[in-house]
Amino acid sequence: MRGCLIEFLLADALKLAIETLEIVWSTKTSVKSAFYKASEKHGVSDIRALRMAYRIAYESIKNLNLVDAIAEFMLGKERYSMLPSIVKNILRVIVYEFKVNQNPSRYSLADYTSAFRSIYSWKILQPIEPYLGRLTSLSFDQAKFSELDRIALTYRQPKWIVEYLERTLGRSLALEILEGLQSEPKIYIRINTFKIGLNECLKMLEDEGFKLKPVDKIPYVYVLEDYEKPIPLSKAYRDGLIQVQDLSSCYSVVLLDPKPGERILDLCAAPGIKTSYLVQLASGEVDIISIDVSIKRILLMKSLMEKSSIENAGIIVADGRYLPLANIEFDAVLLDPPCSGTGILHRDPSFKWRLTYKGITKFASLQYELLESASRYVKSGGRIVYSTCSLTLEENELVIERFLRLNPEFYLSKPKLMLGSDGLRGLNYARRLYPHRDLCNGFFVAVIRRV
């Protein structure tokens, strides 16, 4: 009986993992979103199967280039490329588990093969089954690859990203960043003092097994040092007493330095995490207009504002390039535009395989348009904080340089808090945060003031 239960557990986990991979590649969604959709579709409820399935799907995608390289070596590049999507994903899971995973599964290759046979017809496995017997004894040697290929395989990143980072940041820093993107990212939480006192909340979290340390000079923000369960399962999170918010995101809000009585524009604001922090830093005494182009994200923002007890944020659905604000002037504008996300490639492993350099240039064009739009609403002496979770020049320094060159009434200002590293190309007042140095998302932020 116990053996049957174990077989069902493995079959459920593998079925869910493969469905997750299929959704990721067909819909270009995140691993987490795809996993939720797959879970709903198949109705798997066993927590052990759910955990196993998510790990398998996540790690198979995170290590995709190495997994594919091994699979191509086994079958031949042409034969592997012609496999149907579902067969390719089955092989990816098997290759990851038995050639890449440093923590061997308690199940054997025969167990996996048997489980896949029970889920799919024999015809599905037919193209790859003759090769599976060779897998455990297969000797995959990376020596034949170029140095660039070897680095990409070692750090599980697309070749063009490795090449780009080396070219723009130098080899030493590029390798440090790639190493940092392999590490488990730190988790930061912000306590919502509109709903609870700091000490009371800290005691509540401590009682639930969370060990926290305050972040110096970033108010209400703590880094999670140890925990017994995920933060979203805590009562404090469920009740809206805390918000998961990366240090980098908090830093950009701190640099805007909102003051009571000011009028602030939060552009590209949804889902509202930065808006809520702006209100908190100003003790709830600011007039904020928050704008985002996505209705879906705006609805999430309204839900967050209600849960966080934030009442004084006006929320508008609009394209930030064409704002319906007439002649309103603002003391400050926070602009965190859509970006390539090259600083958060360790958060969702599927994204890096879809990202292209062409996509970066498209983001840079949009970012400049949004910055130009934001500048029209800043009053004399006012400021803009521009930030991205990207490490590229095109989305950061080059956007700022172009803007300052064409708008001489603005200048790059020294931030009130100098975290991270200097910006590139001589923009020393701009700040860059790197995962390996600053233990947060890769990030760029600049404070721009109007004379």
Q: Do 2-137 and 247-450 come out as alike in CATH topology?
A: no
Output the six-digit token pair for 213: 């340390």
Q: What is the 3-state secondary structure (H, E, C) of the chain?
A: CHHHHHHHHHHHHHHHHHHHHHHHHHHCCCHHHHHHHHHHHHCCCCHHHHHHHHHHHHHHHHCHHHHHHHHHHHHCHHHHHCCCHHHHHHHHHHHHHHHHCCCCCCCCHHHHHHHHHHHCCHHHHCCCHHHHCCCCCCCCCHHHCCHHHHHHHHHCCCHHHHHHHHHHHCHHHHHHHHHHCCCCCCCEEEECCCCCCHHHHHHHHHHCCCEEEECCCCCCEEEEEECCCCHHHCHHHHCCCEEECCHHHHHHHHHHCCCCCCEEEEECCCCCHHHHHHHHHCCCCCEEEEEECCHHHHHHHHHHHHHCCCCCEEEEECCCCCCCCCCCCEEEEEECCCCCCCCCCCCCCCHHHHCCHHHHHHHHHHHHHHHHHHHCCEEEEEEEEEEECCCCCCCCHHHHHHHHHHCCCEEEECCCCCCCEECCCCCCCCEEECHHHHCCCCEEEEEEEEC
Give the mean pLDDT per block of 10 residues along the chain (451 residues).
63 96 94 93 89 95 96 94 96 96 87 92 89 87 88 96 96 94 91 96 96 97 93 93 96 97 96 95 94 94 91 90 90 97 91 94 97 96 97 98 98 97 97 96 97 96
Output the six-digit token pair for 82: 């012609």
pLDDT of residue 380: 97
Q: Is 389 a catalytic residue?
A: yes
At the top level of CATH, which class does the domain 247-450 belong to?
Answer: alpha beta
pLDDT of residue 1: 42
CATH 1.10.1740.10 fits 2-137, yes or no: no
pLDDT of residue 406: 98
pLDDT of residue 49: 92
Q: Among 154, 99, 115, 112, which Cα is nearest to 8's?
A: 115
Place of tokens 């808090």: 417
As a whole number of angstroms, the distance between CA 340 and CA 363 comes to: 7
Q: What is the pTM of this model?
A: 0.92
At the top level of CATH, which class does the domain 188-244 belong to?
Answer: alpha beta
Would you kindly state where each structural domain of the chain is located, as residue ranges? Answer: 2-137, 147-180, 188-244, 247-450
As a whole number of angstroms, the distance between CA 107 and CA 124 comes to: 21
Output the six-digit token pair for 106: 């308690």
As a whole number of angstroms, the distance between CA 96 and CA 403 comes to: 46
pLDDT of residue 45: 86
Catalytic residue among 201, 250, 339, 389: 389
